[in-house]
Structure 1
Amino acid sequence: MIKVICAILEKQGHVLIAQRSKHMPEPLQWEFPGGKLEPNEQEQECLIREMQEELALAILPVTRLEPVVYTYPTKTILLIPYICRYVGGNVKLAEHQEYAWVLPQDLPSYDWCPADVPVVAQYLQLKQTAS
């Protein structure tokens, strides 16, 4: 099982989402950005590193949500989401094709990678409970 950490990055009431390039698995689908956990790496360290490498952003992981296990045809991943605070930087795409800052209520209208679908639902449930 591959451990993948993803960021639900909040900034001024919006959330950052990223569209996978046509050369990546699950091409052109949207996801919360992040990446694979390296051996001997802490989850939050991984997320800070991946967001810097892939998007040139500085973040602060705040809240760990419930992990999601998803089996794709060729692999099984454990997707570990964190709600994160934006610290600084301007988005520079290293791997993704596109990005968007969207309102939480608009998240369901995007074509999500299958593993991210339950994360979107969990996040929206949390936001609804908090309001």
Structure 2
Amino acid sequence: MKKQIKVVGAVIRNDQNQILCALRSPEMSMPNSWEFPGGKIEKTEKPEEALVREIQEELGCEISVIELVHDVIHEYPNIIVNLITYEAKIISGTPVANEHAKIEWKEISELNELEWALADLPTVDKLIR
């Protein structure tokens, strides 16, 4: 049986309605794929709590979680990922790519130009629609 993991991702918008996109580093699984920043949910955490913690660790800023965007289950060849994405807003700090190769603010119309991790694609499609 394949390993299953639950992860969270943040759809963070700035004041220009651009979305923060994060490029996975060469050391990460699925290297050089774009994703919504976030990470694994620990056993004792609610998804929203995990997202606040992960964004603090990955980007060095504090967010407030606004609402659920999408709940996706994607089966990769070696793992099943349940990705839960939330709309979030930065309430303090400026995002820095502590773990990612880079981060970029993108217009919604530009999201399709990036090579996304497959589990993130349904959320990208939902944002574009």
Mark yes or no: TM-score above 0.5: yes
CA distance in 2, matches of 1:36, 1:64: 16
Q: 1:36 aligns with which of 24, 33, 40?
A: 40
In the alignment, what sits opposite 1:129?
none
When normalised by structure 2's length, the TM-score is 0.93
CA distance in 2, matches of 1:34, 1:59: 11
1:59 offset after TM fit, Å?
0.8
The answer on whether the counterparts of 2:41 and 2:47 sit within 8 Å (CA) in structure 1 is: yes
What RMSD in Å do the two structures reach over aligned CA positions?
Answer: 0.9
Gaps of 5+ in 2: none
Q: Which moved more, 1:42-51 or 1:65-74?
A: 65-74
Give 1:88-107 correspondences, 5 Å limit: 88-107=92-111
Q: 1:87 aligns with which of 86, 91, 94?
A: 91
- What's the secondary structure of 1:49's corresponding residue? helix
In the alignment, what sits opposite 1:54?
58
CA distance in 1, matches of 2:24, 2:62: 20
In the alignment, what sits opposite 2:10?
7
In the alignment, what sits opposite 1:76?
80
Q: Which one has the bigger helix percentage?
A: 1
Count residues in correspondence: 125
CA distance in 1, matches of 2:46, 2:125: 25
CA distance in 1, matches of 2:127, 2:89: 14
1:66 offset after TM fit, Å?
2.6
In the alignment, what sits opposite 1:64?
68
Gaps of 5+ in 1: 126-131
When normalised by structure 1's length, the TM-score is 0.91
The one-letter code matched in structure 2 to 1:122 is K
CA distance in 2, matches of 1:15, 1:66: 15
Q: Could you report, residue by residue, the CA deviation over 1:4-52 in whole angstroms, capped at 9, with x for unpaired residues?
A: 0000001111110000001111111100000000011011110000000
1:123 matches 2:106: no
CA distance in 1, matches of 2:65, 2:127: 15
Q: Could you report, residue by residue, the CA deviation over 1:32-77 in whole angstroms, capped at 9, with x for unpaired residues?
A: 0000000110111100000000110111111102311011111101
- What's the secondary structure of 2:70's corresponding residue? coil
